[in-house]
Amino acid sequence: MRVDPKYLILSSALLLGTLPAWATGETSGVAPSAPPSAVIHCPGGTPVPFTSDAEQALPLHIIGPLACGETVTVLSLSEGYTAQIRTADGQVGYVAQMYLSNERAAVAIKKGPASTATPVNGAVRWASGAAGCDEFISHGRHVESITAHGITVQVSLQDSGWKYRANIAVSNQSAENVEVLPGIITLDELEPSLHSLLATNPDKMAHTTTHQVLWTLVDAVPSASAVANYSNHATVEERLANRPSPTPDYLNPQLALASTHHVTFERTESVDVQSIALKTSSVAAGQITAGVMWFDRDGNARELSLRVPVGDLVYDFSFSLEQKK
């Protein structure tokens, strides 16, 4: 799970400023105080991951979700982005420091229902600024995120010049297992012509002689139609700086392997396609799955719709691409 370092530095500084000396590694002539308490702060109201490993590498080793406003004991703060904590029921594990708020500030954290998208005819559609919808930059890629029924689906889309590459993540914070089935995820071209773009079997991708599977010529951005009605003509920078329903970045950091520029010579590095491909899985409560899918490319495509069925909903994402021949 990747988090913007700016937010980590800020959140750590705020927390460290309120913790006693033993938690920060400082010493003094006074006796050490009791371990400090902190309150779980959930951006967007969604429970946050509580893991058994400090690295929080994917797939996450989830102990269980931490509820918004829950009080925990801070055992140690490292130079990384996680803190070791103990919950009220005695469980010890790790949480990203950005989710910790000092206990005195707990009154400022108002518990309430998580921001969630409203389904229409069994589908939730991404729109900038709409309830349950978020957008952010992850490894230079524009990510669209939808949260509904306790499930968050995040996607980014790139044009490699050979295939379209979709990075997809599903975080299940509902009470039930949900199925992720790559075989029913679709990418449709909407403009200039309406037709489906077929997914490519990862087995075939693994045996190809080209390594354009990891190239990025163009990063897809939200379609204008999905922005205009909600953002009051705000620029991309303004939208990213004022996110009404912020969510963590669930995309697999191991997927950030692509060159950002096309090169004229053939790349020779080994590409383990199977290890990064999105796999059929049953995602338990509190778990995350993430991976890549590849689709046929149309160099004339301008507007695209990526549809990800999860649970009883279809999560529909609208993208726009600059034409590349």
**Size of the chain, expressed as the number of residues it contains:** 325
Whole-angstrom distance, CA of residue 301 vs CA of residue 306: 13
Q: What is the pLDDT of residue 211?
A: 57
pLDDT higher than threshold 60 for residue 120: yes
Q: Counting Cβ atoms within 10 Å, is residue 36 exposed (0-12), middle (13-18) or buried (19+)?
A: buried
Whole-angstrom distance, CA of residue 137 vs CA of residue 157: 12
Whole-angstrom distance, CA of residue 96 vs CA of residue 84: 9
- Residue 277 is classified by DSSP as B
Q: What CA dihedral angle connects 157, 158, 162 and 168, to 10 degrees?
A: -40
The tokens describing 190, both together, are: 């909407």
The tokens describing 319, both together, are: 């993208």
Per the prediction, the chain carries an average pLDDT of: 77
Q: Counting Cβ atoms within 10 Å, is residue 40 exposed (0-12), middle (13-18) or buried (19+)?
A: buried
Q: Counting Cβ atoms within 10 Å, is residue 255 exposed (0-12), middle (13-18) or buried (19+)?
A: buried
The tokens describing 98, both together, are: 């950005």
Whole-angstrom distance, CA of residue 101 vs CA of residue 108: 10
Q: How many other CB atoms are there within 10 angstroms of residue 237's CB atom?
A: 8
Whole-angstrom distance, CA of residue 76 vs CA of residue 18: 14
Q: Are strands 123-125 and 313-320 parallel, antiparallel or unpaired?
A: parallel
Whole-angstrom distance, CA of residue 312 vs CA of residue 100: 33
pLDDT higher than threshold 60 for residue 26: no
Confidence of residue 194 (pLDDT cuts 50, 70, 90): very high
C-alpha closest to that of 45 among 107, 137, 141, 110: 110
- SS3 for 292? strand
Q: What is the pLDDT of residue 310?
A: 97
Lowest model confidence (mean pLDDT) among 173-182, 241-250, 274-283: 241-250
Confidence of residue 230 (pLDDT cuts 50, 70, 90): low
pLDDT higher than threshold 60 for residue 121: yes
Q: Which domains does the chain have, with CATH numbers?
A: 5-108 (2.30.30.40), 123-320 (no CATH)
Better-scored residue on pLDDT, 203 or 164:
164
Q: What is the pLDDT of residue 323?
A: 57
Confidence of residue 144 (pLDDT cuts 50, 70, 90): very high
Rg over CA atoms, the chain: 21
Average pLDDT, integer, range 299-313: 94
**Identity at 15, one-letter amino acid code:** L
- The pTM of the full predicted model, rounded to 2 decimals, is 0.65
Average pLDDT, integer, range 87-113: 64
CA–CA distances in Å: residue 103 to residues 9, 36, 77: 19, 9, 16
Contacts of 129 (CB under 8 A, 6+ apart): 230, 231, 239, 244
Contacts of 120 (CB under 8 A, 6+ apart): none
Residue 152, strand partner residues: 147, 171
Q: What is the pLDDT of residue 190?
A: 93
Better-scored residue on pLDDT, 56 or 185:
185
